[in-house]
Amino acid sequence: METPDPETLRRELLLEQAISRQFDPLLQQVTRTTLKLEGNRDMEVNQLRNLLSVAVESRSVEVVINFIRYQIARNSRAWGIGKDDFGHQVITDLRGSVKELAEAAMTYLRATAGDTPAVHALEPQVYLRLMQLYLGYLNRTFYFARRVNSFDWLKEVHHAANAN
């Protein structure tokens, strides 16, 4: 087994740091979006788990968005059909805040690892990883709220995050 060179190891470590620096705003967005499911008895935990599986297997934001649109059409009571409903909010998040967080991670990575072709090549990987993390945390957050049968704790977290 070949050992990566020190520069590759350094870049990978900086990549992980760049992504982890985005966790707080990512989780704040996850909480805001999950709150859209309050009172929704049609959304099931396994639907979000299936969405996460699609994200991990396909490694494509557009495939995931297509799957969400399919779910909206297939089960509009769970996902909602309005532009402010849960399904469309997830799409908006993936194309908006998650992409912006990927750009922020890349800015950090370029500043710390250098603005090199090797670093530029990591951009799709950063976006995909943040998409997968977003969907994973979305699944966990919804599971929690559904399991304890209350979205009140999520509201508390959301309000505390906005107060800072």
87 in a structural domain = yes
Residue 137 structural domain: 6-35+43-163
What pLDDT does residue 164 have?
Answer: 63
97 in a structural domain = yes
20 in a structural domain = yes
154 in a structural domain = yes
147 in a structural domain = yes
Cα separation, 91 vs 64, in Å, equals 9
Cα separation, 24 vs 162, in Å, equals 12
13 in a structural domain = yes
Half-sphere exposure for 24 (CA within 13 Å, toward CB): 6
> pLDDT tens string for the chain (164 positions)?
677 788 888 888 999 999 999 999 999 999 999 999 999 999 999 999 999 999 999 989 999 999 999 999 999 999 999 999 999 999 999 999 999 999 999 999 999 998 999 899 999 999 999 999 999 999 999 999 999 988 887 887 667 677 76
1 in a structural domain = no
84 in a structural domain = yes
The number of domains in the chain is 1
Q: Is 44 exposed, middle or buried, given 0-12, 13-18 or 19+ CB atoms closer than 10 A?
A: middle
Q: How many residues does the chain have?
A: 164
